[in-house]
Amino acid sequence: MFISSKELAQQFIPVNGIINARDLGGYIMQDGRKLRDGVLIRAAHLADATDADLEYLSSLPVAKVIDFRKDIEKRGKTDRMVPGAEYNCLMIDASGKLVSQATEDEKRLFTGSKQFDVKKFMVMAAFNSMAQRIAQQMYPNLINDPECQQQFAQFFRLILETEKGAVLYHCTQGKDRTGFASALILAALGADRDTIVADFDATNRVYEKDVRRCCRNVRLMGGKEIEISTVKSFLGANTDNFIKALDSIDREYGSMEAYLKGPIGLTDQDILTLRARYLE
């Protein structure tokens, strides 16, 4: 499945201060049913949301906001609250234990002094061996780390508890943790693999200019394949790595369904509940 520019434009919700804010509604599942509009929203952080943005989200209405960011990512970027919505923080660390093993200079690179600046981080990180390892291991860590699995399990619990209203979930850029969360919920609802990959990859059209510009600069500095891949992982969504991660789920757990029912803890009834609520 390929999401055309027209289809992608239809997915974006009418907000100005929230990057990569998309409605999952409209996807067709393998059983022919369609995901309802306005009930599952994926996005980047809400720190720059305008008053009009918050008013729109409240009108859906958004009942729950789920923030996957760590505390350090919120420095200077605290979410603005959606009126009437319950805020939930599920800190998911895509870097695993690598940052804790870093040198003091590397820790300063990854944490900064005031707030997390993705673009500034990327310029410094493309040639950093620690950043390169994190880029390569990000998705395997999201899949296999027990703490990540527990947080994604809680993500589903929060969704299942939301009987009315929409759920908006996000990380910093709305691409990796949010992209993987979207893959899990789409899989639970019965989407095929092409749809899951297409939704994940659509993020790259949001960040295309930033990625292209940074890749050009990195090449001028002598960067090769690993440096370019690191840029694509941190500024964009590395679809090749994501597909490899899906393959590893099939290989290590048997299938996505087995993964959802195993580490993520969904029951058959949970899946039926989700499909009854979100599909039409």
Residue 68 near residue 177, CB atoms below 8 Å: yes
Bridge partner residues of 167 (DSSP): 40, 64
Q: What is the pLDDT of residue 135?
A: 82
Q: What is the pLDDT of residue 99?
A: 45
User: Domains of the chain: which residue ranges?
Assistant: 5-269
CB atoms within 10 A of CB 223: 19
Q: What is the pLDDT of residue 213?
A: 86
Q: Which pair of structure tokens corresponds to residue 69?
A: 């960011």
Closest to 163 measured CA to CA, from 276, 266, 28, 66: 276
Q: What is the pLDDT of residue 196?
A: 96
For the domain bounded by 5-269, which CATH number is listed?
Answer: 3.90.190.10
User: Which residues of the chain carry a pLDDT beneath 50?
Assistant: 98-102, 113-114, 116
Q: What is the pLDDT of residue 132?
A: 83
Residue with tokens 């027209």: 6
pTM for the complete prediction?
0.88
Residue with tokens 């690179």: 109
Tell me if residue 167 falls in helix, strand or coil. strand
Q: What is the pLDDT of residue 102?
A: 47
User: Alpha helices of the chain — where are they, by DSSP H?
Assistant: 5-11, 51-59, 104-111, 118-125, 129-144, 146-161, 177-189, 193-201, 203-206, 208-220, 225-235, 239-253, 256-261, 268-278
61: preceding bond cis by omega (within 30 degrees): yes
**Nearest-angstrom CA–CA distance, 40 and 38:** 6
